[in-house]
Every structure is written in C-alpha cells, then in structure tokens.
C-alpha cells in the first residue's frame, strides 16, 4: 500500500492471557468502526503466529502529554484548536455509535505538525449498557480517587 503506519502490537507476554487478547481484539473491532478526521485511522489488524497487531495511521507529530512536558504553556489559539479536534472526535464517537471514551488523557491524543488533533486509544471506547442506571454517588471526574 506504500503508506506509513504505526503498529500496535500486543506484548507476547500478554498473549498467554485470554483476557488481554480479548481486550486487544475489542480495540481492533472498535477501530474498524471509526472513520473521522480527528480519529487515528485503522488500516489492518490480525495475527501472525503468536503476534497480534493493529496497523493505524502514522501521526507525524507528538503526544500532547509529551508536548506539555516539554512546553507547559501552549499558545491559546493552538490549544483551543487541539481541544476542539479532540472534542469533535469524542462527539463523533458518541453521536454515531453512542461510544464513550473511558480514558481521556493527554497520552491518548496526538497533534500532527499542522496542529491537527488525532484521538487514539480505541480500547477505552465503550458502548454504554442502557439497562443500568447511572449511580451518581460513584460518578467522578478527573483522576480515579485513591483510598
């Protein structure tokens, strides 16, 4: 196909655990459903011997978290452009598939050299179970509370 891709590979140590394989395959299936300018595109997935892989579009840029570690203050216009791209990707997943990203954090997002935000982390997308009411006593924003 002559295109640059990034490969996500399930660690060989994890392939012995059926639960990790199941989670990885969930990520593959979710990735196949999503097509949006602000979502990293999945091209191929499979298994070669005992190696499970997912080929996704290569983002010529850096993780937002790494950028913030290097440069703690991003110019306002650029920051708003990145946040808007992430918000549009999350809105797309919800509006089209009622999927919720359960782990929104800076290492799941990339900005390419044109400052175009790309969301990754398909394994954290989940279709909500509608039969279960939300327990507002256990609803938290931000980091998971420590005990």
Catalytic residues: 103
Q: Tokens at residue 121, please?
A: 């982390």
Q: Rounded CA gap, 24 and 7, in Å?
A: 13
**127 touches 98 (CB < 8 A):** yes
Q: Dig out the tokens for 9 from the structure.
A: 């590979």
Give the pairing of strands 61-63 and 100-101. unpaired
Residue 56 phi, psi dihedral angles, 5° rounding: -125, 165
């Amino acid at each position: 196909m002559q295109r640059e891709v990034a490969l996500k590979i399930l660690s060989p140590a994890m392939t012995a655990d059926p639960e990790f394989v199941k989670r990885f395959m969930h990520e593959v299936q979710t990735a196949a459903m999503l097509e949006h300018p602000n979502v990293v595109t999945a091209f191929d997935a499979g298994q070669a011997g005992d190696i499970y892989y997912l080929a996704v579009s290569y983002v010529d840029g850096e993780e937002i978290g790494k950028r913030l570690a290097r440069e703690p203050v991003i110019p306002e216009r650029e920051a708003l452009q990145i946040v808007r791209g992430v918000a549009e990707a999350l809105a797309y997943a919800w509006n089209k598939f009622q999927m919720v990203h359960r782990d929104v954090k800076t290492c799941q997002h990339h900005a390419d050299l044109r400052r175009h935000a790309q969301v990754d982390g398909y394994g954290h997308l989940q279709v909500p179970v509608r039969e279960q009411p939300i327990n507002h006593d256990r609803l938290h924003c931000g980091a998971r509370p420590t005990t």
